[in-house]
Amino acid sequence: MHHLTMSKYYFEHDFTEFEEFITSYPAHHKYYEKGDIISAQSETLKYGYYIKQGIMKLSIGHECGKEKIAALFGPGSFFPLGIDHHYYDMEYAMVEQAYTEVEAYEFDYRIVRTMFLEHQDLALRMMEHYCDFTSYLFFEIASLSGDNSVAKVCNVLYALQNTSLCRSHVLHISQDDVMELSGISKIQVARVYQTLRGEHIIQTSRGRIQILDQDKLRSYCTYEL
């Protein structure tokens, strides 16, 4: 049995082995610059996207105007894997945006449904992926309700350091993105950074976070991570 390794906050390569099969179906080959909107609110559930290159950011908008980053999807990801009918307004609050330059294949949901029906292993992988994604959301709910601000920030930094966002122990992520991923205010993130710098756990510069002491960083994380 295949076992997926789930990266909290960041998902990649869940569907890479099926890329040849997936891209054999009719799709629009899309290219997005960093910051481009891939699917805006109310449009997100019209299409599924297979990410060939780059990273897509999934955010949830609130009626007050704020957004919370739900997850990041890298190469080999396919999201959202939806159905034709949606009954809850919150489903239409999702925004997909290019976090980096993105190359993706855009599929109509009728095509997505067909490819899953025609490839049993792909359908099973889709189910595994959603189980992993749901488990991550449960983790997020528990963390948001129970963890302090230090744990929330450290969870994000620790989880992302083993992804393509991190090179040579340097995370290429902004303070605003850490704020939206962790679900706390910018002032709280700044205070956590100050604490972690004071303990020589991280060094920060604009859009960059260098991990100096992985063990100390992990000691502040939620146990379940």
Do 119 and 47 touch, CB atoms closer than 8 A?
Answer: no
Quick one: 124 and 74 in the same domain? Answer: yes
Residue 94's SS3 state is strand
Q: How far is CA 193 from CA 114, 170, 175, 185, 197, in A?
A: 47, 15, 9, 12, 6
Indicate if the pLDDT at residue 3 is higher than 50: no
Strand boundaries in 62-108, DSSP class E? 67-73, 78-79, 94-98, 102-108
Q: pLDDT by residue (tens digit) across 169-219?
A: 888 888 888 988 888 888 999 999 999 999 999 999 888 899 999 899 989
Name the residue type at position 199: E
Mean of per-residue pLDDT scores for the chain: 84
Apex 80 CA angle, 78 and 81, nearest 5: 80
Residue 81 has a pLDDT of: 63
User: What total number of domains does the chain contain?
Assistant: 2
CATH of the domain at 168: 1.10.10.10
Indicate if the pLDDT at residue 58 is higher than 60: yes
Do 109 and 83 touch, CB atoms closer than 8 A?
Answer: yes
What are 40's two structure tokens?
């805006």
- Quote the CA–CA distance of 26 and 204 in Å, as a whole number: 44
Residue 168 falls inside a structural domain = yes
Domain boundary at 143, 169, 190, which?
A: 143
Residue 79's SS3 state is strand
The DSSP code for 7 is P
Residue 77 has a pLDDT of: 92
Element (H, E) at 156: helix 149-160
For the chain, what is the radius of gyration of the CA atoms?
A: 18
Indicate if the pLDDT at residue 68 is higher than 90: no
Residue 4 falls inside a structural domain = no
Q: pLDDT by residue (tens digit) across 88-140?
A: 666 667 888 998 899 999 998 889 889 989 999 999 998 888 888 888 888 77
Phi/psi of residue 90, each to 5°? Answer: -60, -30
Confidence category of residue 4, pLDDT binned at 50, 70, 90:
very low
Quick one: 59 and 99 in the same domain? Answer: yes
Using N-to-C axis directions, what is the helix angle for 120-146 and 109-118, rounded to 10°?
A: 120
Indicate if the pLDDT at residue 2 is higher than 50: no
Q: What is the span of the domain harbouring residue 43?
A: 10-143
Phi-psi region of 111 (alpha: psi -120 to 50; beta: other; left: phi over 0): alpha
Domain boundary at 143, 176, 192, which?
A: 143
Indicate if the pLDDT at residue 6 is higher than 50: no
Least confident of 32-46, 145-159, 204-218: 32-46
Element (H, E) at 215: helix 214-219
